[in-house]
Amino acid sequence: AAAAGMAELRARRDELARLIQGEEAERSRLQGEIWALTEKLARTNESLARKMATRNDFDRTIAETEAAYGKILESSQTLLSVLKGEMGNTSKATEPKSTSKEKQADGQQHS
């Protein structure tokens, strides 16, 4: 009876040892996956940080370019207005003015 009880305990211990070995193998496999995923996560984070920095540079460049373009457009409109004003003044200054003698001559030709 004692020998049978000892055999039973050994059998249960051996079964438990087999289960422990299986779980240790599973733990090692999971730790390997965690390590691989941690490495992949780190690479993805670095790549993402670089891409976000580049996108921020694009955003800044676009905003600066749009602002500069707006200023150029505004300056062009101002310059065009000034130019039109100057051309108006120049054309008034170059229009032939009739003198009183010309008016008298015109009046004599028609009579």
DSSP 3-state helix, strand, coil percentages of the chain (rounded to 5)?
A: 95, 0, 5
Spatial separation of the C-alpha atoms in residues 3 and 60, rounded to whole Å: 83
13-71: per-residue pLDDT in tens? 999 999 999 999 999 999 999 999 999 999 999 999 999 999 999 999 999 999 999 99
What is the distance between the alpha carbons of residues 92 and 15, in angstroms, rounded to a whole number? 113
Reading the block at residue 69, the tokens are: 């373009």
Section 83-108 average pLDDT: 69
The more confident residue out of 110 and 51 is 51
Tokens read off for 96: 């032939």
pTM of the full predicted structure?
Answer: 0.54
- Tens of pLDDT along 70-93? 999 999 999 999 888 888 877 776
What the block records as the tokens of 61 is: 């460049």
Distances (CA, A) of 31 to 17, 23, 93: 21, 12, 91
